[in-house]
Amino acid sequence: MSYYTRFIRPGGQCIRLGGYRRKSPSPKFGTRQDFENGIRELKGLFPGDLSSTSNEELETHGFSGTDYHPGALHSIIVYPQSTEDVVKIVKVATKYRIPVIPYSAATSLEGQTRGHPTVGGICVDISHMDKILEIHADDGDLVCQAGAGWMDINETLKEKGIPLFFPIDPAPTATIGGMLSTGCSGTNAVRYGTARGEWILNATVVLPSGEVIKTRQRARKSSTGFDTTKLFIGAEGTLGIITEVTIKLTPVLPTTVAVVHFPDVHKATEAVIEVLNKGVGIQCVELMDDQMMSATNKYGQASRKWPEKDTIYFKFQGPTKASLAETAKIAKSVVEKYGGTGFTLAKDDKEAAELWTDRKNALYAGLAMYPGAKAWSTDVCVPLTKLPDLVYQTKRDLEEIGIPYNVLGHVGDGNFHTGLFFKTEEEKEIVRQATHRMVKRAIALDGTCTGEHGVGIGKKKYLVEELGEGTVQLMKSLKRTIDPLGLFNPGKLYPDETDDEVEGKV
């Protein structure tokens, strides 16, 4: 226990009150013999292809080619097919005190699916739990297993002639369980919000005790106590393993795309704010900086070449083609007031898809600019009016240290992404420090260390500074109550005590 005093953040917000802070005990895992016994028992319960300890699969699940946090091997990979299978895994884990790490598509960028760095653990790969269980088209919802992919769900609805879709659009291969667990979003967030919003109606969860709960019924609204569904949104598998989810669907509406160029990010952001405040049908508003446009011209898939300026991609949405035309007219008149030039509106659906392809393939175009380089992708989010300051400060920093980079942003909600390119270990460390400075800037601007990538192991050290120690201690208290053995995804999300002491100081 350690004593701490009353703490007032700048602006007068009270974060800590005087008293004693309870140190979080380190989990006591089983012995090496316990782990061997547990693995043997799991192989008996999940024979053949349903479990694996092969070096290849352990390597695939314990490391990532999309992030650059330390890798850590699991002890065994298990592929459950049902909620009941997950319960069996959890009971074995509890019996032998073995960590449990959920895993699905592994599109996360902050190391959420790594094994425990010293003991490994059971990797529960739910990618085989990918079934759509029920479609309630008239109610506008769908029940699926947690390993179902959002793109597969939308394709199934399209094939069945159901004019509905699930609008949260992160990485193309992301699954519903992973999306819920990280509270992710994507380009549609400016219109539809995030996986933390009302798109998740309920979830079936296997708790660390082995008990199975369902967080809510399927009704669109309920005032029965606090919303336990949201307890697991963003928990990154530390409180339970999601096995089934009911998601809301929304009507498919006509869309089109427009592209416009600006003299700088500040003018672009001012224009976006006014367009959004007009109340017109905006589905997406995406920023690509001058360097990103240069990469697009050289390596993008579209046939046309663009001015290499800070550029906004709009996706308009409305019930009719006439409404799209009216939205485009209003947007064009607004952006021109802020120095927007070259306003290009797609002539038809084919051209709209081509224009949007450049935005969706931006990462690959950026990589092509620097052959042999790797890209460290990271994100932060700030209030929309603070975005230009963050972009300017970050770009100046990156230019001073000489690291190749490009900038993307969900500018409609202040979410800022960078791709930082490196080839050597020395350059990787420079990139790591640049990312750290970007996070610090975002928090200083009343923002967050992660707008949609989650916390994992990469961002957990910033939580005390961003949320305050009281909030983080509340999160840890919930963790201790629900997972008293500390077996569920240990080492992720919750700051270590040393992080509390270092990052929590002002």
**pLDDT exceeds 80 at position 20:** no
Query: What pLDDT, on a 0 to 100 scale, did the predictor assign at position 14?
Result: 41
More confident residue, 50 or 504: 50
CB distance 260 to 311 below 8 Å: yes
Query: What pLDDT, on a 0 to 100 scale, did the predictor assign at position 498?
Result: 56
Query: What pLDDT, on a 0 to 100 scale, did the predictor assign at position 446?
Result: 97
* Residue indicated by tokens 């989810």: 245
Alpha-carbon span 417 to 431, nearest angstrom: 14
More confident residue, 5 or 424: 424
The predicted model scores a pTM of 0.90
**pLDDT exceeds 80 at position 144:** yes
Helices (H) and strands (E) counted in the chain, each on its own, are: 17, 22
Alpha-carbon span 258 to 279, nearest angstrom: 17
Count Cβ atoms below 10 Å from residue 196 Cβ, excluding itself.
18
DSSP, collapsed to helix, strand or coil, labels residue 478 as helix
CATH numeric code, 132-251: 3.30.465.10
CATH numeric code, 32-125: 3.30.43.10
Chain segment 349-406, per-residue pLDDT in tens: 999 999 998 888 887 888 888 999 999 999 999 999 999 999 999 999 999 999 999 8
The secondary structure of 246-307 as a DSSP string is EEE-EE---EEEEEEEESSHHHHHHHHHHHHHTT--EEEEEEE-HHHHHHHHHH-SSSS---
Chain segment 248-280, per-residue pLDDT in tens: 999 999 999 999 999 998 999 999 999 999 999
Phi, psi of 200 (to 5 degrees): -105, 110
Which strand ranges, in their side-by-side order, compose the sheet holding 100-103?
51-52, 76-78, 122-125, 100-103
Phi, psi of 180 (to 5 degrees): -65, -45
Every domain range in the chain assigned CATH 3.30.465.10: 132-251
Structural tokens at position 393: 């400060």
**pLDDT exceeds 60 at position 504:** no
CATH numeric code, 253-361: 3.30.70.3450
Query: What pLDDT, on a 0 to 100 scale, did the predictor assign at position 66?
Result: 81
Every domain range in the chain assigned CATH 3.30.70.3450: 253-361
Chain segment 437-477, per-residue pLDDT in tens: 999 999 999 999 999 999 999 999 999 999 999 999 999 99
The terminus-to-terminus CA distance of the chain in angstroms comes to: 21
Most confident of the following: 26-30, 377-381, 406-410: 377-381
Every domain range in the chain assigned CATH 3.30.43.10: 32-125
Chain segment 285-325, per-residue pLDDT in tens: 999 999 999 999 998 877 789 999 999 999 999 999 999 99
Q: Using the CB atoms, write b or e for 277-288: b if 16+ within 10 Å.
A: eeebbbbbbbbb
Structural tokens at position 274: 């006014």
**pLDDT exceeds 60 at position 19:** no
Q: Mean pLDDT over all residues of the chain?
A: 91
